[in-house]
Structure 1
Amino acid sequence: MPHPFARLRRGAVVAVTAGTLLAPLGAGAVPASVPAVFAAGTPSPSPSESDVRALTPGVARQLDASVQRVVREANVPGVTVGIWTPGQAGYVRSFGVADEASGRKMAPDLYTRIGSETKTFTVTALLQLVDQGAVGLDDPIGKYVDGVPNGHRITLRQLAGMRSGLFNYSEDEDFFKALTSDPQRPFTPRQLLGYAFKHPVLFEPGQKFSYSNTNLILLGLVVEKESGQQLGDYIKQHILDPAGMRNTLFPTGSEFPEPHAQGYTDQTADGKVTETAGWNPSWAWAAGAMVSTLDDLRIWARTVATGELPDRRRMLSPDTQRQRLITPATPIPGAGYGLGIFDVQGWLGHNGSLPGYESLTIYLPSTRTSIVVLLNTDIDHDGEEPSTLFGRAITRIISPRHVFDLPAEPAAR
């Protein structure tokens, strides 16, 4: 049986434990009124205009059936899916329930916790400081934060690219006990680093890929130190406001705007399924605390993948964006990871997983297609994250040459 806290680390390229939601669900579609660079190290098919099928009524029916099948088989309470390609009709559907107790339906306008998609915002903030000349990607983290093991050798680039060798604090047993004993408790960034730094480094900096939330806590501290602003304030002023993302926020505590779905997790001390909407996400901070909506993530899918704002201004300079999209291979076939962004069979973006919630926001440059998937459980099915199951099911239909797939990694203590 996998270690019970291993899954708290994820929300990027791995999934490591299985679980089963105990309550059955109903799945009814709720229609909505909401209307590159291929990176080195990742084998992506050559782009062409035929990479994505047109979202005809027939294709939409196939998507409905495939998404509903995943909902049933994986016992997902509720999910919302959005797919958009310029010049085509969009596809926005919600299935299942937002709250099992009341039977309230899932809907496209709900706020959701986006977990590790937060990393894309934190790294974007860092890269903006690179463009300003305030920091350098090859600066050592020890220049900005004291007490980091190997801090004189680990660079900001290696932290953003998950190649630092630092232990992931969310895999620490004492951290898991502290979180699950009081899910409403606040954590400070320094407390989180304390859980990580009591462990030896895993490997020499840059030696290999190893996904670690610790890296993003450190980058969040760098952004605060060099910008002179709180991380959430910086992200709002310099990223969310320019992008027109009015319904995305960086909570300072457990605040969660209405309306939102109830979340369901088995990441508890006893493994029982628990509601999580009131949990405090401060334990994830720069690595996973943010809240957003379907419409805002539709904007972000293209913005983070291209470095360009909706009004055609630049979020990042072309050179910095090119560096971001250099995605060396990971141990997962077909998946590369750059600076806070992945390339999975040509799809650029990130996923997120926080107890009770998962998300997936990806963009295919060849056809400018965006996909956003939001769901209110993080409970695995047959060892796979449900967001991956939906991503695979959707892309098998609309982009068979670019099937999104993040197979589960074997669990480790």
Structure 2
Amino acid sequence: MAAAAAGLLVTPGVAGPAYGAPTPGPSVSAAPSPDSDAYFPELTPAVAAKLDAAVQRVLREAQVPGVIVGLWAPGKGSYVRTFGVADKATGSPMETGFNIRIGSETKTFTVTALLELVDQGKLGLDDTIGKYISGVPNGDRITLRELAGMRSGLFNYSLDEDFNKALAAGPTRPFTPQQLLDYSFKHPVQFEPDADWQYSNTNLILLGLVVEKVGGKPIQEFIRQEVLEPAGLRQTVFPTDAHFPDPHPQGYTNDTTGKVVIATDWNPSWAWAAGAMISDLMDLRSWARTVATGTLLTPKTQAERLKTTSIDGIRGAGYGLGIFNVQGWIGHNGSLPGYETLTVYLPEAQATMVVLLNTDILHEGQEPSTLFGEAITRIVTPDHVYPGHKPTAPKPTTPKPTASPTG
């Protein structure tokens, strides 16, 4: 089931017809950047043609209904395209202005909120979670830093069998943060605090509760006021229910039988501070640079955020505090039933890549967003290829729900 979708899934354009020729989006104004193409090539028509072919190949081979791709680098131009369809029943094309469920990219917002509270002197990264939330296994020893860096050892609730059964039985039902923690805390800890690295959505549920308690307001309000508004993000929201702002594409996932079903309106409350948010191409373009360069944080706190722990099985990949660095690309990916996203920034070239698609169905065991990222970076940044293989990511123990409508 896509319950792990809020988990790490990395190795961790304007409308075009399905599998057909894309239509280019508008160019962006260029600003000064490195003179050489060593970091990033000029996005000429010839380069764009190579990108078109590479994206179309992944779209076709991975059977992705539709994808939106954006690439930008100062002085090099832009590449904005859509491919495929937003709705397989009507054949309506993908559009660059669509809203998309961003899954685990939510973690970058939740952790930014937490780090803002650090900068305000209201909490410390080395505070224990037990200082704020009671009943957490090893809560007197697990720090906020270890939660944000996936080094707590707490069991990932997304892998709990009862949770997956409940989600499969009712993908439109709401879950509370405490319910999610209860699924986790009935399991023994996986390792001692800071002894290992393991992706767990449980960590972000706890950090969301800390943001609420210390910030003094619901997390959706804190993030809106303290993160989204200062960052100038007007299309990004933290939903409190299954509402999905228009316009958006239909999202396609698998049910328990392997049948493709529509998951557009499934309730994302099960992912909450780990993966419930919604955004769009241009907001994510802006956010990529903001989160990677730390413009909302002090330099000291941003430096702490970017200290990474190696991710097993991925060369040149590490995970910091709610953010990863994969071959120099800094950011996060995300997945919820029906949708996947990838938003990353390459500081050497001041380059941004955003990939948004309307399925989370794996292709030969690979996340399609990762396959797109790999295909694109092999062309534009061959020295910084976003890998097409992934680490052992948390996957649910039971299949997806057979229910048709919402998730």
Q: TM-score, normalised by structure 2?
A: 0.91
Please state if 1:216 is matched with 2:209: no
The CA distance in 2 between the partners of 1:295 and 1:130, in whole Å, is 28
Please state if 1:302 is matched with 2:298: no
Local SS of the residue matching 1:193: helix
Residue equivalent to 2:15: none
The CA distance in 2 between the partners of 1:138 and 1:242, in whole Å, is 26
Residue equivalent to 2:7: 10
Please state if 1:108 is matched with 2:96: yes
Residue 26 (structure 1) shift: 3.5
The CA distance in 1 between the partners of 2:83 and 2:170, in whole Å, is 31
Q: Which of 327, 331, 348 is equivalent to 1:366?
A: 348
Q: Which of 162, 171, 179 is equivalent to 1:174?
A: 162
Local SS of the residue matching 2:82: strand
Runs of 4+ that moved beyond 2 A: 4-15, 25-28, 30-35, 268-272, 408-413
CA distance 1:140–1:12, change in 2 (3 Å): farther
8 Å CA contact 1:79, 1:106 repeated in 2: yes
Please state if 1:316 is matched with 2:286: no
Residue 271 (structure 1) shift: 3.2
Residue 177 (structure 1) shift: 1.0
8 Å CA contact 1:27, 1:71 repeated in 2: no
User: How do 1:382-393 and structure 2 match up within 5 A?
Assistant: 382-393=364-375
Residue equivalent to 1:284: 271
User: How do 1:369-408 and structure 2 match up within 5 A?
Assistant: 369-408=351-390
Percent same amino acid among aligned pairs? 63
* Structure 1 letter corresponding to 2:81: R
Please state if 1:69 is matched with 2:57: yes
Residue-by-residue CA offset, 1:112-164 (whole Å, 9 max, x unaligned): 00000000000000000000111100010011011100100100000000010
Residue-by-residue CA offset, 1:87-108 (whole Å, 9 max, x unaligned): 2221100000001011110111
CA distance 1:195–1:378, change in 2 (3 Å): same
Structure 2: give runs of 5+ residues left out of the alignment: 13-17, 29-35, 398-407
8 Å CA contact 1:345, 1:403 repeated in 2: yes
User: How do 1:19-98 and structure 2 match up within 5 A?
Assistant: 26-33=19-26, 35=28, 50-98=38-86
8 Å CA contact 1:9, 1:168 repeated in 2: no
The CA distance in 2 between the partners of 1:198 and 1:145, in whole Å, is 16
8 Å CA contact 1:348, 1:364 repeated in 2: yes
CA distance 1:179–1:27, change in 2 (3 Å): farther
The CA distance in 2 between the partners of 1:126 and 1:50, in whole Å, is 36
Residue-by-residue CA offset, 1:346-376 (whole Å, 9 max, x unaligned): 0000000111100000000011000000000
CA distance 1:366–1:14, change in 2 (3 Å): closer
Residue-by-residue CA offset, 1:55-85 (whole Å, 9 max, x unaligned): 1110000000000000000000000000000
8 Å CA contact 1:363, 1:369 repeated in 2: yes
Q: Report the RMSD for the aligned CA atoms in angstroms.
A: 1.7
Local SS of the residue matching 1:366: coil
8 Å CA contact 1:335, 1:406 repeated in 2: no
Residue equivalent to 1:150: 138
Residue 12 (structure 1) shift: 4.1
Q: How many residues align?
A: 383
Residue equivalent to 1:265: 253
Q: Which of 339, 356, 360 is equivalent to 1:357?
A: 339
Residue 406 (structure 1) shift: 5.0
Residue equivalent to 1:201: 189
8 Å CA contact 1:27, 1:97 repeated in 2: no
Q: Which of 221, 235, 238 is equivalent to 1:247?
A: 235
The CA distance in 1 between the partners of 2:156 and 2:123, in whole Å, is 24
Residue-by-residue CA offset, 1:28-65 (whole Å, 9 max, x unaligned): 41332363xxxxxxxxxxxx861211111100000000
Residue-by-residue CA offset, 1:269-314 (whole Å, 9 max, x unaligned): 3332210111000000000000000000000000000012xxxxxx
CA distance 1:227–1:176, change in 2 (3 Å): same
* Structure 1 letter corresponding to 2:194: G
The CA distance in 2 between the partners of 1:285 and 1:261, in whole Å, is 21
CA distance 1:11–1:100, change in 2 (3 Å): farther
8 Å CA contact 1:383, 1:408 repeated in 2: no
8 Å CA contact 1:78, 1:97 repeated in 2: yes
Residue equivalent to 2:32: none
8 Å CA contact 1:335, 1:345 repeated in 2: yes
Residue-by-residue CA offset, 1:320-350 (whole Å, 9 max, x unaligned): 0011011121102221000001000000000
* Structure 1 letter corresponding to 2:244: F
